Chain A
């Protein structure tokens, strides 16, 4: 019963929502967001606080009504449907367990509302409590549970009704760091096992990358970019996405020449060949994405390899983190972040040392270019 593919496709078409607070200008919380979540897929809405991700989720749930646009679950338009008529499971940031009910009654709540028989309720509650690893907890009250246990009850309560859509609103933000990592693995396993279409809201990019099939990065109420974690990391379409997904050095550059499918761009005083982006013209200014781990420090700044650019710099800061060392290296007027792994084998460079920063052409991306 719990393994069948029963997730439905979720579609958002040009959804907008503005909030009007007393005596203040209206705030455009969500602005023309279109998004499709495939059956059984887990899509994360990722962004800083105030980017509209939670409002979007709450509109999907039906807690808020969009001012414009259309939301469909499967083939049904649910834009104005009351919450309780949508088949959803919602996991709240604070879990929102009913404090006056036991774990059993909390989980059974949705089943009782659906008027299932007592024996069916008992069987399904037991099954789902086993699924989340809480057998034997039936008679406890929420205030007798740890944060992680409350989290599991909240998930059990949401999935026991076999919803067409599972919605998570920053479910792990109240847990400590270690538990967060453990719980996100569990949530991911559970979601795959149940194959319920899921929308997951978080501001933690690592969490998003760990559990999502695809990530929708949101910025100021709009959808900035949608793609797999790898796509977003490798080919960010905007400086915002590049900076939000992982760490990045954005280097100003311009197009030196275009030949066939490739173009030459300036990197410091050298020229670098990269795949040509659509719509670029010679002389146009652009930004290059250089990830800290794709830059290497070399002791000899004059010897560049094939397809490689080397520029001299000075190490200004160094943070030793065990498996890696983070450097801040001054190159011209800019400071580059560089990560070097396995310091035990490769050694550590001192602050103040003159070094060369080597950059492989294959690792350079033009901002906004196709992956």
Chain B
């Protein structure tokens, strides 16, 4: 619709914001890497000469691939158990609740817990099995910790994919004489292949971007790119070197992102497994009893491990020093609510500001890209996605480069923290908005226009109320991420504005694991409460499909 007086300003405003807070910092980052009083490759060349940096690149790629494979396999196991094993409803619910834990936990949680469980004096390794030569640091520990943290992403993706494979298709393969394993291989798995690839890429991207886990468990022998970039800047004050490391990380991250987009877009066309109406309800028969038992055993061990990890974190927070002095004590919580209170308050303030701002941005963007036509629409959609798709370390360093000096000296302010979260974590809300709008016939908006409402009035009175579920979903994700993120914002905090996650990291580096645990428990409780409230609100809004907290966080 041409000549709309509201559309053009809205598009310009969003473009302006995306330009300033997404494109400008990334541009500054590239300029710093490749421009030193003239075009220069010195910074990148310097990296290649350094053993640690070369190793970091290789380690990052190997780790991402391994975590991708392990996480996808585990996710597939859980997904099969959830949608193909005819489990009782309460058991799938319980499975979901446990699997959700790693997704909403602050970073480091799995890492600290693994140190407690499998470290040199770990509960499981030393106290249960009496092993003394277990080394949790390095590739194996990082791999285990990241797999435990990120397999839920694969689980949520594959659960949706498998749920859309109509059991009647499997039935028809059975009717043609195929046996279980053959049906599973040729029908179930075949139809889930794009989903598997997508899950692998999502998990790999998460591993590639992970900064917290290798920082704790990688040690000096296992450097990866995000931690190296962090240390280059905070340890050596070498901005150019940090920027160059970011560039090395940028290439595989973009490749994974492009691959993932290719798969999600192709999935819509190649296998039409999502038919509106499922055929006759049929009991799924692809998994034999033995297969179910085997899957249940594997998943049971993982669930137990996750639960033990979280129990250990909780235990560490309520004793003086887990493993050394196991007397009950509330000292760690006393610290959280005295010296640590400022960080808690700052984090909450920033999270609460982020929610409405980010959710509104998400809905406006979602509306613009899915319901209006303007030149450069696809480009805007892509640009707005950049900060979300790139590893937080890159975004954080880019912000540091762009906003540390005049004219835009913003680092250390609450403003830049909010901006960082809004442009990094609004995408979930944008997607939810597009999903909701896809179910609403455009004639509803035309009806409003025909009754004399301008575009902005229609947006306020019709679109906004209808996308309330998406708004809520967007706000929940923003809250969770603002409470738990660290990779980008660690470069932006200051004495006046600190974050809980940064305090957790300080606790770990100062070897005050009890304090770190107490902070973690607090964050987990707050976030879990938010998820529960959001789920209840969703149910009231009748937004069944968006109602599960899982969908809020998957992808």
Chain A residues with a Cβ under 8 A of chain B: 61-63, 65, 80, 82-85, 87-90, 92-94, 96-101, 109-110, 112-114, 157-158, 161, 167
Contacts and interface: CB of A to CB of B under 8 A. Distances in A.
Given A90-B447, A99-B444, 15 more contacts: A62-B450, A63-B1, A65-B1, A80-B2, A82-B4, A83-B1, A84-B453, A84-B454, A88-B450, A90-B446, A94-B441, A98-B447, A100-B462, A100-B465, A158-B450
A87 B452 CA distance: 7
A88 B451 CA distance: 7
A82 B446 contact: no
Contacts of A94: 441, 443
B450 A113 contact: no
A198 to B, nearest CB: 14
B466 A99 contact: yes
A84 B443 contact: no
B146 to A, nearest CB: 42
Nearest to A110: B451
A82 B2 CA distance: 8
A97 B440 CA distance: 11
7 tightest A-B contacts by CB?
Answer: A110-B451, A90-B450, A96-B443, A96-B447, A83-B449, A100-B465, A92-B443
Nearest to B443: A96
Contacts of B451: 84, 89, 109-110, 113, 157-158, 161
B461 interface: yes
A167 B450 CA distance: 10
Interface string B462-487: 10011000000000000000000000
A82 B449 CA distance: 9
Interface in B430-460: 440-441, 443-444, 446-454, 457
B3 interface: yes
Nearest to A82: B3
A100 B447 CA distance: 14
Contacts of A62: 449-450
A87 to B, nearest CB: 8
B1 A96 contact: no
Contact of B444 (A63, A89, A98, A113): A98
11 contacts: A61-B446, A62-B449, A82-B449, A83-B1, A83-B450, A84-B454, A85-B452, A87-B452, A89-B451, A90-B447, A96-B444
B447 A92 contact: yes
Given A84-B453, A113-B451, A96 B4 contact: no
A109 B448 contact: yes
Contacts of B448: 98, 109
Nearest to A154: B447
Nearest to B4: A82
Interface of B: 1-4, 440-441, 443-444, 446-454, 457, 461-462, 465-466
A161 B452 CA distance: 9
B3 A114 contact: no
B539 to A, nearest CB: 16
Contacts of A65: 1-2
A143 to B, nearest CB: 10
A114 B441 contact: no
Contacts of A100: 462, 465-466
A99 B444 CA distance: 9
Contacts of B446: 61, 63, 83, 90, 92, 96
A161 B447 CA distance: 13
A213 to B, nearest CB: 23
Contacts of B453: 84, 109-110, 113
Contacts of B462: 98, 100
A65 B446 CA distance: 14
A150 to B, nearest CB: 12
A97 to B, nearest CB: 8
B443 A114 contact: no
A360 B409 CA distance: 95
A18 B447 CA distance: 23
Given A90-B446, A98-B444, A99-B466, A84 B3 contact: no
Nearest to B541: A100
A265 B85 CA distance: 80
A262 B452 CA distance: 56
Contacts of A99: 440, 444, 466
A151 to B, nearest CB: 14
A105 B507 CA distance: 56
A158 B447 CA distance: 9
A71 to B, nearest CB: 15
A335 B546 CA distance: 61
Contacts of A88: 450
Nearest to A80: B3
Contacts of B3: 80, 82
B4 A109 contact: no
Nearest to A143: B542
Nearest to A64: B1
B11 to A, nearest CB: 17
Contacts of B441: 94, 96
Most buried by B among A85, A97, A98, A158: A98
B377 to A, nearest CB: 14
A90 B452 CA distance: 11
Given A82-B1, A99-B466, A100-B465, A110 B452 contact: yes
B450 A61 contact: yes
A157 to B, nearest CB: 7
Contacts of A92: 443, 446-447
For A88, A92, A96, A99, the residue with the greatest tally of chain B CB atoms inside 10 Å of its CB is A96
Contacts of A113: 451-453, 457, 461
Contacts of B2: 65, 80
Contacts of B454: 82, 84
B466 A114 contact: no
Contact of A114 (B447, B452, B461): B452
A80 B444 CA distance: 22
A371 B451 CA distance: 41
Contacts of B443: 92-94, 96
A79 to B, nearest CB: 11
Contact of B461 (A80, A82, A84, A109): A109
A216 B454 CA distance: 32
B479 to A, nearest CB: 24
- Quick one: which of A61, A83, A88 has the most chain B CB within 10 A? A83
B298 to A, nearest CB: 44
Contacts of A112: 461
Contacts of A98: 444, 447-448, 462, 466
B452 A84 contact: yes
A34 B4 CA distance: 27
A89 B448 CA distance: 10
Nearest to A106: B447
A88 B446 CA distance: 12
B459 to A, nearest CB: 12
B440, B441, B449, B450 pick with most chain A CB within 10 angstroms: B450
Contacts of B452: 84-85, 87, 110, 113-114, 161
B543 to A, nearest CB: 12
B7 to A, nearest CB: 11
Contacts of A80: 2-3
A84 B449 contact: yes
A89 B4 CA distance: 20
Q: Which among A82, A84, A85, A114 has the highest number of chain B CB atoms within 10 Å?
A: A84
A90 B449 CA distance: 10
A333 to B, nearest CB: 48
A191 B4 CA distance: 32
